[in-house]
């Protein structure tokens, strides 16, 4: 079940950590956020090591649809309503800065970077689109209403933002990782102060950054309350249309579209990890009807961390941790969020000020309606009677028969049929799983 990126790009290999080492900055997690942060710190002459539990980019980065955009659903009308104009403006400016940084770095890298217009369409709610256009106007973002979009879905129009981008994330990762100090197959089992301990070594650092998708240290930051995970599905079709843009349904439950070379990527079927879904079946039915001459060349799934207010958590791990940082909760906008994380975290480590620190601080207000939903799900699944339990915090696991995995509805950990961990925050396999 390799993604289109994984099946076409060979990533470099790195050795496993052995023995004890010291560094200025240790980054735990070798996805795009970790790689970019190390890349930027390296350019400033800061000594950095990345520890990756598996292979670099083997998690969400390898399974993304790789859109680079500051159009994140209908976020600006939501932010304007829930957080106010200051936050909405900062969110736009920060993500615009991330797009510009990609433009600059990608100009020297062969990674199939190309500009595309971005569209958020609606099946039936024009009012929501108009509210978003109005919000975008208030915060100074050029956008327009588009009525004739090139996807075979009945819709009432779309909000279009021109000149966003898409790329091949693994071609990009190959280039930026070649000068970085990386250890693979080095699972951090525990933190002892500023020392990360793996099965075969340990690294002590002045600063530690956790970019492990879901922050794995439970005793600080309450991420088990502030995040949940969402799973979605993608198919790549040959002999389908060129949609000439990047598209997403505003409802969050619909489909996304983009092309990569001669292929059309269609995403959808999103659901909270550990709950029932139709996986790829809905997408395949859609493809059969709308692209009867197309052939599926690969399919895969993506897993995303969702925050309480739809904005990522980037910065100090918690108020009480001085040299510990994290970046998570990209809400399906992982490529843009990864670049934003690298900008903010490198500024933080280098002691520079940045006007966006406060907006993305993991310690910001977290009394939001989604907190109640997360708490309810956790309580319900903690009280569910089942022999198969998640080693993270003990919730009952659910069998996912399409992907042959045991999935946790609380915070999204996943395990294979033998109890081997596939997705964190669980920090290890389940012992004696088959008993
Ligand atoms: Fe937290 Fe399972 S992922 S209890």
- List, in order, residues 6 or more apart from 267 with CB less than 8 Å away: 65, 232, 233, 234, 255, 256, 257, 283, 302
**3-state DSSP call for residue 228?**
strand
> In which region does residue 185 sit, left (phi positive, over 0), alpha (psi from -120 to 50) or beta (all else)?
left
**Residues 312/328, Cβ–Cβ less than 8 Å:** yes
Please give the number of the atom of ligand 1 that sits closest to the Cα of 409: 2
Residue 20 burial by Cβ neighbours in a 10 Å radius (0-12, 13-18, 19+): exposed
pLDDT at residue 434, rounded to an integer: 64
Q: How far is CA 74 from the centre of its chain?
A: 18
Of residues 123, 166, 338, 147, the one with CA closest to residue 265: 166
pLDDT at residue 253, rounded to an integer: 80
Of residues 32, 26, 97, the one with CA closest to residue 59: 32
Q: Which of 411, 414, 427 to mutate to test the pocket of ligand 1 (most atoms within 8 A of CB)?
A: 411
Which stretches within 108-237 are classed as H helix? 126-138, 169-177, 223-226
Please identify which residue in the block is written with the tokens 């079946």: 281
Of residues 252, 230, 223, the one with CA closest to residue 314: 223
DSSP assignment of 370-426, as one string?
HHHHHHHHHHHHHHS--S-B-TTT-PBPEEETTTTEEE-TTT--EE-TTS-EEESSS
Whole-number Å distance, alpha carbon 82 to ligand 1 midpoint, is: 29
Please give the number of the atom of ligand 1 that sits closest to the Cα of 382: 4
For ligand 1, atom 4, the nearest C-alpha belongs to 393
d(CA 313, CA 306): 10
Please identify which residue in the block is written with the tokens 């005793």: 219
First to last CA, the chain: 28
**3-state DSSP call for residue 317?**
coil
Q: Which of 223, 410, 421 to mutate to test the pocket of ligand 1 (most atoms within 8 A of CB)?
A: 410
Whole-number Å distance, alpha carbon 406 to ligand 1 midpoint, is: 11
pLDDT at residue 278, rounded to an integer: 87
Whole-number Å distance, alpha carbon 390 to ligand 1 midpoint, is: 6
Pull the structure tokens for residue 345.
């975290």
Question: pLDDT tens per residue, the chain (435 residues)?
Answer: 899 999 999 999 999 999 999 999 999 999 999 999 999 999 999 999 999 999 999 999 999 999 999 999 999 999 999 999 999 999 999 999 999 999 999 999 999 999 999 999 999 999 999 999 999 999 999 999 999 999 999 999 999 999 999 999 999 999 999 989 999 999 999 999 999 999 999 999 999 999 999 999 999 999 999 999 999 999 999 999 999 999 999 997 889 999 999 999 999 999 999 998 889 999 999 999 999 999 999 999 999 999 999 999 999 999 999 899 999 999 999 999 999 999 999 999 999 999 999 999 999 999 999 999 999 999 999 999 998 999 999 999 999 998 999 999 999 999 999 999 999 999 888 877 665
- Phi then psi dihedrals of residue 260, to 5 deg: -135, 115
Please give the number of the atom of ligand 1 that sits closest to the Cα of 395: 4
Q: Which of 395, 397, 409, 414 to mutate to test the pocket of ligand 1 (most atoms within 8 A of CB)?
A: 395
Whole-number Å distance, alpha carbon 412 to ligand 1 midpoint, is: 6
Whole-number Å distance, alpha carbon 405 to ligand 1 midpoint, is: 14
Whole-number Å distance, alpha carbon 232 to ligand 1 midpoint, is: 19
Q: Which of 303, 390, 427 to mutate to test the pocket of ligand 1 (most atoms within 8 A of CB)?
A: 390
Whole-number Å distance, alpha carbon 392 to ligand 1 midpoint, is: 5
Dmax (CA) for the chain in angstroms is 61
Whole-number Å distance, alpha carbon 115 to ligand 1 midpoint, is: 39
Please give the number of the atom of ligand 1 that sits closest to the Cα of 393: 4
Please give the number of the atom of ligand 1 that sits closest to the Cα of 381: 4
Of residues 199, 191, 207, 205, the one with CA closest to residue 18: 199
Q: Which of 212, 413, 429 to mutate to test the pocket of ligand 1 (most atoms within 8 A of CB)?
A: 413
Whole-number Å distance, alpha carbon 228 to ligand 1 midpoint, is: 9
**Residues 312/340, Cβ–Cβ less than 8 Å:** yes
Instruction: Ligand 1: list residues with CB < 6 Å.
Output: 224, 390, 392-395, 408, 410-413, 425-426
Task: Indicate the DSSP class of residue 222.
Answer: T
Whole-number Å distance, alpha carbon 149 to ligand 1 midpoint, is: 40
pLDDT at residue 435, rounded to an integer: 56
Of residues 390, 398, 397, 400, the one with CA closest to residue 425: 390
pLDDT at residue 374, rounded to an integer: 95
Whole-number Å distance, alpha carbon 411 to ligand 1 midpoint, is: 5
**3-state DSSP call for residue 206?**
strand
Of residues 207, 217, 170, the one with CA closest to residue 362: 217
Of residues 60, 66, 4, 10, the one with CA closest to residue 30: 60
Of residues 317, 232, 219, 308, the one with CA closest to residue 267: 232
d(CA 338, CA 356): 15
């Amino acid at each position: 079940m390799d993604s289109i990126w994984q099946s076409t790009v060979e990533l470099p290999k790195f050795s496993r950590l052995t023995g004890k080492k010291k560094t200025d900055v240790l980054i735990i997690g070798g996805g795009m956020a970790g790689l970019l942060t190390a890349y930027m710190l390296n350019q400033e002459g800061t000594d950095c090591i990345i520890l990756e539990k598996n292979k670099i980019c083997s998690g969400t980065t390898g399974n993304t649809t790789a859109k680079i955009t500051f159009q994140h659903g209908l976020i600006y009308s939501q932010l304007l309503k829930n957080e106010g104009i200051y936050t909405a403006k900062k969110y736009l400016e920060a993500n615009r800065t991330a797009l510009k940084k990609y433009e600059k770095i990608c100009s020297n890298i062969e990674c199939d970077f190309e500009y595309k217009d971005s569209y958020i369409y609606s099946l039936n709610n024009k009012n929501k689109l108009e509210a978003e256009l109005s919000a975008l106007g208030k915060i100074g973002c050029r956008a327009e209403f588009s009525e004739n979009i090139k996807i075979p879905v009945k819709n009432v129009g779309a909000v279009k933002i021109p000149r966003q981008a898409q790329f091949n994330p693994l071609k990009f990762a190959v280039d930026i990782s070649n000068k970085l100090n990386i250890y693979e197959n080095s699972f951090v089992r525990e933190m002892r102060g500023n020392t990360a301990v793996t099965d075969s070594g340990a690294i002590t650092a002045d600063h530690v950054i956790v970019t492990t998708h879901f922050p794995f240290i439970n005793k600080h930051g309450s991420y088990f309350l502030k995040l949940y995970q969402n799973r979605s599905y993608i198919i790549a079709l040959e002999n389908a249309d060129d949609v000439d843009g990047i598209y997403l349904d505003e409802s969050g439950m619909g489909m996304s579209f983009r092309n990569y070379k001669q292929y059309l990527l269609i995403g959808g079927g999103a659901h909270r990890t550990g709950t029932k879904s139709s996986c790829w079946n809905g997408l395949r039915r859609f493809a059969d009807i709308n692209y009867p001459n197309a052939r599926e060349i690969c399919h895969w799934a993506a897993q995303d961390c969702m925050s309480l207010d739809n904005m990522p958590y980037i910065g100090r791990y918690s108020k009480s941790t001085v040299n510990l940082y994290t970046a998570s909760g990209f809400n399906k906008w992982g490529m843009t969020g990864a670049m934003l994380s690298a900008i903010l975290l490198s500024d933080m480590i280098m002691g520079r000020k940045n006007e966006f620190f406060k907006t993305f601080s993991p310690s910001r207000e977290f009394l939001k309606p989604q907190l109640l939903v997360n708490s309810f799900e956790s309580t319900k699944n903690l009280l569910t009677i089942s022999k198969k339990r998640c080693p993270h915090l003990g919730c009952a696991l659910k069998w996912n028969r399409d992907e042959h995995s045991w999935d946790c509805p609380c915070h999204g950990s996943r395990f294979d049929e033998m109890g081997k961990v596939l997705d964190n925050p669980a920090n290890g396999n389940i012992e004696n799983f088959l008993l």
